[in-house]
Amino acid sequence: MNVTTDLDIWTLILGASLVVKAVMLLLIAVSFLSWMFIFSKWFAIRRARVQTEQFEREFWGGGDLNLLYQGAVNNRHTIGSQERIFEAGMREFTKLRNQRSTSEASDLVDGARRAMRATYQREMDHLERHLAFLASTGSVSPYVGLFGTVWGIMHAFRSLANMQQATLAQVAPGIAEALVATAIGLFAAIPAVVAYNRYSHQIDRLSIRFESFMEEFSNILHRQAVK
């Protein structure tokens, strides 16, 4: 027996039992989806951060709020999350102020704050999309791979049951086939865990910026309402 040839990675995968092959295919598919979500989420968070910084520069640059609002309305499909929050609050504030039945400043600000909060929840839900998949991949994949390994080891020892004498050359390929499943499980889990932790931290920072903006913008609207 040529042990070097038998322990080639592709030979091990092709020589594995049906159950172990199914586990490997599942883990490879999960890893592919995980990497796809990792890259798409990286672009989404980076775009959200750039758009937020750009809008904050415009907002705190002393520009006219009505012009900013009109620009947000005209470019509703391309603006960032924070600008959508601003647009929702400004739209509700303007609508309530134009209604004769609503004259209290607190009512105007509360209405705008509720509108901003609803938009904030939608934007956060969009930013957090697929994070749960990354978390599940990171926590479950090693155990799925371990299941494949245990099953493969059982299969390897059962195949040796009828042999009078088992040598290392006979045992090694079967054990190696089983361990490949654990390796693939770790390959799927480690990037998912790293990406989940990093992206969760970045989204939390964006969330804090959005909430701070809502409070500060509410104060601005309150000052305008009492004029």
- The domain total for the chain is 1
Residue type, 222: H
Residue with tokens 């099953």: 151
pLDDT for the residue 179: 81
* Phi, psi angles (nearest 5°) of residue 164: -70, -40
Query: Given a cut of 50, is residue 79 above it in pLDDT?
Result: yes
d(CA 122, CA 132): 16
Per this entry, what is the length of the chain? 227
pTM: 0.82
Residue 213: which pLDDT band, with cuts at 50, 70 and 90? very high
Its domain, for residue 138, covers 3-225
- 123: number of CA atoms within 13 Å, CB side? 29
d(CA 221, CA 94): 10
Residue type, 140: V
Rounded mean pLDDT, 214-222: 91
Residue 118: which pLDDT band, with cuts at 50, 70 and 90? very high
Q: What is the largest CA-CA distance in the chain?
A: 96
Average pLDDT in the chain: 85
Residue 32: which pLDDT band, with cuts at 50, 70 and 90? very high
pLDDT for the residue 169: 60
Residue with tokens 């693939």: 184
Query: Given a cut of 90, is residue 19 above it in pLDDT?
Result: no
- Residue 109 CA: distances (Å) to CA of 64, 68, 74, 116: 19, 18, 24, 10
- The residues, ordered by sequence, that sit 6+ positions from 5 with a Cβ below 8 Å of its Cβ are 11
Residue 24 token pair: 């490997």
Residue 15: which pLDDT band, with cuts at 50, 70 and 90? low
The CA R_g of the chain, rounded to the nearest whole Å, is: 28
pLDDT for the residue 2: 45
pLDDT in tens, 122-139: 999 999 999 999 999 999
